[in-house]
Amino acid sequence: MSRRAFTLMELLFVIVIIGILVAIALPGFARTTERAQQRQAWDMLQTIYAAEQVFFSVNNKYSGTWSDPANPDLGDYMDDPNTAQTTYTLTSADLFATTFTAQATRNGGQCGGTTMTINQARTMGGAWLNCPMPL
């Protein structure tokens, strides 16, 4: 019975190949993570839009202004524990608001500080939509 072990060269060759694969995969992972954050904010703004439309149909006005995700008035749709990367705010013109703007602000990352907005006409905007993805 002969036992053959790996040589040092074979082990180094495997380590180099793994290093190359990791170097190729990491930029793609960063882009995918940023796209996921953008998509989560997009989906949350669509949810806020839908909730505001329901509120308007019942009360003939949009809800008040809020900026605190821990505020219980925001409803169950803000209870997502993954929202730590994004801050959501909503502003209405006045007490009998006929307009609103909801905004998602990216916290950290390459796109940190950029925003995405939606209003009562379902118009989306903001610099976050055009933030360059990591290379």
- Percent of the chain residues topping a pLDDT of 90: 8
Query: Is the pTM higher than 0.85?
Result: no
Tell whether 4 is covered by a domain: no
Say how many domains are in the chain: 1
Mean pLDDT of the residues in the chain = 78
What's 66's DSSP letter? B
Per the structure, the complete domain to which residue 119 belongs is given by: 11-130
Tell whether 74 is covered by a domain: yes
pLDDT in tens, 80-111: 445 566 777 777 666 677 888 888 888 877 77
pLDDT in tens, 41-60: 888 888 888 888 888 898 88
User: What pLDDT score does 15 carry?
Assistant: 95
| List of residues 6+ apart from 62 with CB closer than 8 A | 52, 55, 56, 92, 97, 98, 99, 100, 120
